[in-house]
Homo-oligomer: A and B are copies of this chain.
Amino acid sequence: MKFYDCKSAPSPRRVRIFIAEKGLEIPTAQVDLRNGEHLTERFRELNPWCTVPVLELDDGTTLSEAVAVCRYLEEAHPEPPLMGVDARDRAVVAMWEHRFEIDGFLAVTEAFRNQARGLAGRALTGADGVAQIPELVERGRGRVERFFAALDAQLAHHPFVAGERYTIADITAQVAVDFAGWIKMSLPDECRHAADWYRRVSARPSAAA
């Protein structure tokens, strides 16, 4: 098994934290996103979408998409469970993870990629050049504000994003909150439930991943 990572990037961090919570050690290769290694022919054979994380299995299967990589690790290493403990719980976790990926992680991505000077012509991930749309910066920031509010509303009633246990939904939301720092946004003072949760998840050893 081999994990293709980029230590500075938020998307593979979702998997790094997941790996740390599972207590796994996986041989890891760093992909140099800054110098376009993910756009090379060699990397595209591994992942035509030109993104990290990628997990290469011993049979040669390559898995991309953070949630799919985590799905594999969860099934191969069930303890501790990070994607739910029964049919209902697994669906609830999947719901929150998916919603906060879109409303949180992808919202920050939208604002960041349409703004960063170094990403001109690369507003979407992938091999094809896509022009930035400046209006998406404000729209993305508005989405992040609503994500913060929704996160706070959920955490007003539950210790963790998907309920009683720490799960992959916490990881996605935590990485989205940290990633929001890249566009100079942070949890507002009034989101005190989310702030308390953020302190707790950030105090876990996995947060260093």
Contact = CB atoms under 8 A, between A and B. Distances in A.
Interface string A105-130: 00000000000000000001010101
A31 interface: no
Contacts of A71: 90-91, 94
Contacts of A195: none
Interface stretch (A6-14, A18-26, A134-142, A173-181): A134-142
Nearest to A136: B133
Pick from A65, A95, A126, A150 the residue with the most CB of B within 10 Å.
A95
Q: DSSP majority for the A interface?
A: helix
A71 to B, nearest CB: 5
Contact of A59 (B49, B88, B94, B136): B88
A76 interface: yes
Contact of A130 (B64, B98, B133, B139): B139
A65 B143 contact: no
Contact of A68 (B92, B128, B139): B92
A48 B91 contact: no
A159 to B, nearest CB: 18
A182 interface: no
A35 interface: no
Contact of A75 (B91, B130, B139): B91
List of 5 A-B pairs having minimum Cβ-Cβ separation, nearest first:
A72-B91, A75-B87, A68-B95, A68-B94, A71-B94
27 contacts: A48-B153, A49-B99, A61-B92, A63-B91, A63-B92, A63-B95, A64-B95, A64-B99, A65-B95, A65-B98, A65-B99, A67-B94, A68-B91, A68-B92, A68-B95, A68-B98, A69-B91, A72-B87, A72-B91, A75-B86, A75-B87, A124-B143, A126-B146, A128-B142, A131-B139, A133-B135, A133-B136
